Structure 1
């Protein structure tokens, strides 16, 4: 590498510092995303595709009896009660004359609360796919909320910074740089070949 393209000692020092501290900040997150990459690829190995189901009936409170399914005030009271009882939000409750439905989705779990106005009862069905399913959904950011979405974005930015500073530190080391570029090219070519030859179109 020519002297004009060689990074300065100060730039290398900054990159090395960033690389070290970002690697420590990312250690557990990288282990988490690496492990859940395997569990996502093979959910059956860890039982993440099988749910434990639980169903129960819940009596309506006295203030909702007798049922007045066509009355908007009663509908609002019932919707607010359902949201409060199952830690949801009013806008999650779908209201009609025949039934009120609250559907709650979270990492690795799914719950349906159904208030049948004709039967005058509430049926609650809960599905729990277990810890590995929770981790898988966190990996994908599914049903995990806005704060966790920011964690994923921050992790991605830090991983980019970690990778780029690592590559930057190789610039003064010609032999290692050439060898690393060779490895990168080989892995890239293998991934492209696998895509074209093995993945259905």
Structure 2
């Protein structure tokens, strides 16, 4: 069998133009999708690197209330062992309305108390319900918008939707970088400094890691 004939110059140019157009399309689409995320993650890369120097002063708010008699029966002490389970829906709705913290999620039920942790980006909080008296106490701490953005960078306590965003954003960044590399390869012949700069981008962090990180 004979090998396929090499592409003629017009066909080569047509194929090259097709792939160049595809790379440019994927490059600008992925850059548009990842642009805002890149700005956010680049900025929070700096704030995380200097977290100790720009850390905001925490602000704590405490609240107290008492469950209405109609709701106390659903949290009254009983003989069941300690467990983790959600608050009854009416109690959770009351907590959100009166305390200002979400009552969703699993709470820790013990013989005397129900404890619900409220973890959010840039802060944390908790709600405690005395099962005998119905007394409700809560505390919420916020550490400022820098801490909020830093936690978004790390995906800390940001929920499922943000986790999906980070995954999609990471894929967009990968496509942006990969198509950029392929475009560099296509244009490298006319730009002699291309590969030395790419090599420097690899060598500089590698050298720093080898010499200064122990």
Fold conserved between structures, TM > 0.5: yes
Is 1:129 the counterpart of 2:147? The answer is no
**Matches of 1:139 and 1:179, distance apart in 2:** 33
Secondary structure at the residue paired with 2:125?
Answer: strand
- Equivalent in the alignment of 1:151: 165
- Equivalent in the alignment of 1:198: 212
Contact 1:82-1:102 within 8 A present in 2 as well = no
Mark the CA change 1:176 to 1:51 in structure 2 (over 3 Å): closer, same or farther. Answer: farther
- Equivalent in the alignment of 2:68: 61
Contact 1:170-1:176 within 8 A present in 2 as well = no
**Larger-Rg structure:** 2
Shift of 1:35: 0.8
Shift of 1:68: 3.9
Contact 1:83-1:93 within 8 A present in 2 as well = no
- Equivalent in the alignment of 2:123: 109
For 1:90-101, list aligned pairs within 5 A: 91-101=105-115
**TM-score between the two structures when normalised by the length of structure 1:** 0.81
Aligned residues: CA RMSD? 2.9
Shift of 1:111: 1.1
**TM-score between the two structures when normalised by the length of structure 2:** 0.77
- Equivalent in the alignment of 1:83: 92
Secondary structure at the residue paired with 2:87?
Answer: helix
**Matches of 1:163 and 1:146, distance apart in 2:** 26
Q: Which runs of 5+ in 1 are unaligned?
A: none
- Equivalent in the alignment of 2:188: 174
Contact 2:126-2:138 within 8 A present in 1 as well = yes
Q: Match for 1:43 among 32, 43, 51?
A: 51
